[in-house]
Structure 1
Amino acid sequence: MSARKKELTRMFVWRSFKEAGAIIENSHFVYVSGRHGSVYIDHHAIYTVLKAVSQMCRFMAEDIYDLSLGCEIEVVLGPEGGGIILSRFLKEHLDRFGGKRISLWAKKQYGDNGLRKFVLPRAFIKHISGKKVFLIDDILTSGSTFYELTELANRYGANVVGLGCLWNRGGVTSGDLGGIPLFSLFEKRFEDFDKSECPFCESGIPINNEFGHGRNLR
């Protein structure tokens, strides 16, 4: 992707998230990591503008083919939720370059201890076994979802050949994810703090309990 096209893509992603109301600022949030910050990305909101989401997946498909990876992909897999929509859109845009792929999603299961794991619906297993897989998600923070999905795909003999996200907000690199090629349409981190050093806590600003981990603190 040329520098000009990359910048246009970044502008489009930022504008789309803003217009969807997905960027919530000037509040006091607790993230899943336990750290605190003033900005929260509500990934659910971006799916209210599906035309923009499809366009972002088109940009990703073009980027994938620019690096000659597209022909290798046989399956596009996303996590339950927004990943179902993303995997479908990306599959459709990749198919326009030639070939036919299949889009699948992994279901989230939670144990009695509250820990999450991904599983494949039984009907999907035959479609992923031994295949070359591309993983896609909306927001990339720590890479844990990609790590878990990669393990799941490998369990069925599949080979993960690429990873893609709309927004990389954790500064995650390909090296952090085992060297698998990573396609991030937009990268931006927001300052966060350990609870013991949080300026919002010190100022007595209440935690937002509508978004982020704050919902669990009600």
Structure 2
Amino acid sequence: MFVWRSFKEAGAIIENSHFVYVSGRHGSVYIDHHAIYTVLKAVSQMCRFMAEDIYDLSLGCEIEVVLGPEGGGIILSRFLKEHLDRFGGKRISLWAKKQYGDNGLRKFVLPRAFIKHISGKKVFLIDDILTSGSTFYELTELANRYGANVVGLGCLWNRGGVTSGDLGGIPLFSLFEKRFEDFDKSECPFCESGIPINNEFGHGRNLR
């Protein structure tokens, strides 16, 4: 699988350790999505594969805007826009900024200059790793706030087993799907064995 191989070669798959995920659950494998952006040629190729999948389902001609979250989503939205444009038409790639309140809760906002480009448009959302679907849910709400219609969702790696049905029935394009076993803290075999929590990756960084 091209996606697995690319993540592996980029050093993005960290195995055989004890991680705490954002969900609070524990596991032995962590996907460092930042690392995949050290191999931009592979990222572009993955976006090309996604563009082909989108057009195979005759959705590509509907898309007017590609929107990703701040961070890797900026790169992904740009690459996907370029590959979609090769099939015809011109699209705009945009990104949503992350803001954190005093309570630590995240929300997405659009830079003011982007609002006129998304209002009333048909939007495709893209992200790298799909775990729970919360990012897509928040971005969909953001787009809807400006009268946009989200017509599709895409991710490089669906590691949460998320389905289109979980996301309101919006078509979902996952280039690769693989889940890793995780555990509640009370049932974690790594905790029971006294294996220390990795504090370089995942939520373990907040436990230093």
RMSD in angstroms over aligned alpha carbons? 0.2
How many Å separate the matches in 2 of 1:217 and 1:158? 40
Q: CA deviation at 1:88?
A: 0.0
How many Å separate the matches in 1 of 2:170 and 2:199? 36
Secondary structure in structure 2 of the residue aligned to 1:148:
helix
Q: Show structure 2 runs of 5+ residues with no match.
A: none
Question: What is the CA deviation profile of residues 7-45 of structure 1, one whole-angstrom value per residue up to 9, with x for unaligned ones?
Answer: xxxx11010000000000000000000000000000000
Q: Show structure 1 runs of 5+ residues with no match.
A: 1-10
Does residue 1:143 correspond to 2:129, yes or no?
no
Secondary structure in structure 2 of the residue aligned to 1:77:
strand
Q: CA deviation at 1:208?
A: 0.2
Does residue 1:61 correspond to 2:46, yes or no?
no
Match of 2:90 in 1: 100
Q: CA deviation at 1:217?
A: 0.4
Q: CA deviation at 1:104?
A: 0.1
How many Å separate the matches in 2 of 1:196 and 1:114? 25
How many Å separate the matches in 2 of 1:158 and 1:213? 34
Secondary structure in structure 2 of the residue aligned to 1:185:
strand
Secondary structure in structure 1 of the residue aligned to 2:6:
helix
Q: CA deviation at 1:207?
A: 0.2
Secondary structure in structure 1 of the residue aligned to 2:108:
strand
Question: What is the CA deviation profile of residues 152-181 of structure 1, one whole-angstrom value per residue up to 9, with x for unaligned ones?
Answer: 000000000000000000000000000000
Question: What is the CA deviation profile of residues 172-218 of structure 1, one whole-angstrom value per residue up to 9, with x for unaligned ones?
Answer: 00000000000000000000000000000000000000000000000
Secondary structure in structure 1 of the residue aligned to 2:33:
coil
How many Å separate the matches in 2 of 1:23 and 1:87? 23
Q: CA deviation at 1:140?
A: 0.1
How many Å separate the matches in 2 of 1:104 and 1:50? 18
Moved over 3 A (4+): none
Match of 2:100 among 110, 118, 132: 110
| TM-score, structure 2 normalization | 1.00
Number of aligned residues: 208
Question: What is the CA deviation profile of residues 64-94 of structure 1, one whole-angstrom value per residue up to 9, with x for unaligned ones?
Answer: 0000000000000000000000000000000
Match of 2:60 among 70, 73, 77: 70
Secondary structure in structure 2 of the residue aligned to 1:44:
helix
How many Å separate the matches in 2 of 1:14 and 1:147? 25
Alignment identity in percent?
A: 100
How many Å separate the matches in 1 of 2:169 and 2:183? 28
Q: CA deviation at 1:141?
A: 0.1
Secondary structure in structure 2 of the residue aligned to 1:92:
helix
How many Å separate the matches in 2 of 1:207 and 1:189? 20
1:113-128 residue pairs with structure 2 within 5 A? 113-128=103-118
How many Å separate the matches in 2 of 1:205 and 1:14? 27
How many Å separate the matches in 1 of 2:207 and 2:58? 46
How many Å separate the matches in 1 of 2:193 and 2:83? 48
Match of 1:88 in 2: 78
How many Å separate the matches in 1 of 2:127 and 2:100? 19
Secondary structure in structure 1 of the residue aligned to 2:114:
helix
Q: CA deviation at 1:62?
A: 0.2
Q: CA deviation at 1:108?
A: 0.1
